[in-house]
């Protein structure tokens, strides 16, 4: 489990409650087309010009899903959609080409979420989505790992109690969808930021 540990730190009268999404694999939440960062979100990132056209393919390795303390295996996003979003993001920055000398492996992507109930706002919850994925860039000719990092992040959104209750019943709500998609986009953005510092 990643450094967030799926835990919350209570402060004052804030009551923290951890809740994993009880969603079946067929009820994935995040929409693939909404996982891709917008042009304005990546415009200020390092250009990684020395890696132009260096990546030939993106592979998804070891689907981790979401694991809870009770051994639940849950799904908040379409993992093939995640790989597609990464491909589109790399291609938009000129880093992918069929004849590229490297491949990117996305390893053990995982997601989860929890709720915080502010004591002074009984009708409002704070929804926090966690995202973790390992990114490994490998030179095909030698097997050298040019880049090998795990990116961890979270995203918070406020939601009404009614939206929270719908989530418990296993129906993805717009708030949960947008929060998961934002967490994925932020994860990809941070990956691109780190990749831009690689010499290639």
Domains of the chain: 15-31+49-195 (3.30.160)
Where b means 16+ CB within 10 Å and e means fewer, 47-76 reads: ebeebeebbeebebeeebbbebeeeeebbb
Give percent of the chain with pLDDT exceeding 70.
Answer: 72
CA distance 11 to 52: 47
The pair of three-digit structure tokens given for residue 96, joined into one six-digit string: 């992918």
User: Which residue would you say has higher pLDDT here, 31 or 16?
Assistant: 31
What pLDDT shows up at residue 11?
38
User: Which residue would you say has higher pLDDT here, 27 or 76?
Assistant: 76
Given a cut of 80, whether residue 52 has pLDDT beyond it is yes
Given a cut of 60, whether residue 113 has pLDDT beyond it is yes
Q: What is the mean pLDDT of residues 95-123?
A: 86
CA distance 50 to 123: 51
The model's pTM is 0.78
Q: What are phi and psi of 133, to 5 degrees?
A: -155, 140
* Residues paired with 130 in a beta bridge: 112, 154
What pLDDT shows up at residue 3?
43
**pLDDT bracket for residue 68 (50, 70, 90):** very low
């Amino acid at each position: 489990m990643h450094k967030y540990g799926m835990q919350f730190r209570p402060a004052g009268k804030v009551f923290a409650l951890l809740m994993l999404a009880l969603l079946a694999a067929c009820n994935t939440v995040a929409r693939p087309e909404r996982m891709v960062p917008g042009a304005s979100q990546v415009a200020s990132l390092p250009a990684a010009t020395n890696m132009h056209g260096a990546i030939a393919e993106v592979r998804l390795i070891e689907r981790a899903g979401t694991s809870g303390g009770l051994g639940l295996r849950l799904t908040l996003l379409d993992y093939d959609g995640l790989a597609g979003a990464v491909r589109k993001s790399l291609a938009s920055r000129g880093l992918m080409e069929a004849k590229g000398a490297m491949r990117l492996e996305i390893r053990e992507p995982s997601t989860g979420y929890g709720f915080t109930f502010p004591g002074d706002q009984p009708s409002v919850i704070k929804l926090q989505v966690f995202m973790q994925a390992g990114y490994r860039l490998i030179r095909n000719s030698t097997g050298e790992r040019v880049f090998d990092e795990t990116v961890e992040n979270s995203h918070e959104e406020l939601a009404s109690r009614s939206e929270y209750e719908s989530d418990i019943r296993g129906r993805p709500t717009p708030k949960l969808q947008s929060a998961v998609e934002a967490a994925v986009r932020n994860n990809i953005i941070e990956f691109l930021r780190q990749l831009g510092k690689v010499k290639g």
